[in-house]
Amino acid sequence: MSEENQVEEEPKPLVLEKLEANHADALLAQDESRGTIVVVIHKEQAYAVLEYLKTDPELAYTFLVDVTAVDNSQMESELMQFDYARFMVVYQLYSYQGQCRLRVKVPVHENDLSLPSVTGLWQGANWLERETYDMFGINFDGHPDLRRILMPDDFDGHPLRKDYPLRGRGERERFNFDKQNR
């Protein structure tokens, strides 16, 4: 066999090896995109997997960069791939030890818009989860202070959902710029 026919496989990233060994039943998909490893995990096991990623001494994803969501309601291919879960909650993690990024996605169905809060793992999740709640309407069970952070308390709707009208619902005329959230 010539050397040209021999293709060396790149070693699998440590995080994928460890997730497959310890949480294989939680993994729905895995990929590498633009130098970032991406995993999609079951909602029911999200907290356990995120806790593992933070506390495992070899992985040590100790920095929560961001928590956000994506509304896939108008993307048929994405909907079909994950049992028609409308939303995808996205956690961006970083390991200083391994100097690598990890994107963890959790499909969330419209009929059950809740996930466990990760504020017990990363205090920085407090405001990030509040923003995701405010903009998408996703609840984080166990959050210490889940209330609106960008919109007024009496605001109706969640502006980053795809079904929210592009021109709003007349809130520019009704928006009380003097009223502050408590």
Distance CA 177, CA 182 (A): 14
CB 164 within 8 A of CB 158: yes
pLDDT of residue 15 exceeding 90: yes
Give pLDDT tens digits for 60-75: 999 999 999 999 988 8
**pLDDT for residue 77:** 80
**pLDDT for residue 181:** 52
The alpha carbon dihedral of 62, 68, 17, 12 has a sign of: negative
**pLDDT for residue 140:** 98
Nearest residue to 134 (alpha-carbon basis) of 122, 146, 121: 146
pLDDT of residue 174 exceeding 60: no
Q: 56 or 73, which is more confident?
A: 56
Nearest residue to 175 (alpha-carbon basis) of 145, 143, 152, 157: 152
Give pLDDT tens digits for 114-165: 999 999 999 999 999 999 999 999 999 999 999 999 998 888 889 999 888 7
Nearest residue to 125 (alpha-carbon basis) of 23, 182, 50: 50
Continuous segment of H or E residues that includes residue 20: helix 14-23
pLDDT of residue 80 exceeding 70: yes
**pLDDT for residue 47:** 98
**pLDDT for residue 177:** 56
- Which domains, from first to last, does the chain contain? 10-166 (3.30.460.80)
Give pLDDT tens digits for 157-169: 899 998 887 766 5
Question: 34: pLDDT confidence band, cut at 50, 70 and 90?
Answer: confident
* pLDDT averaged over every residue in the chain: 89
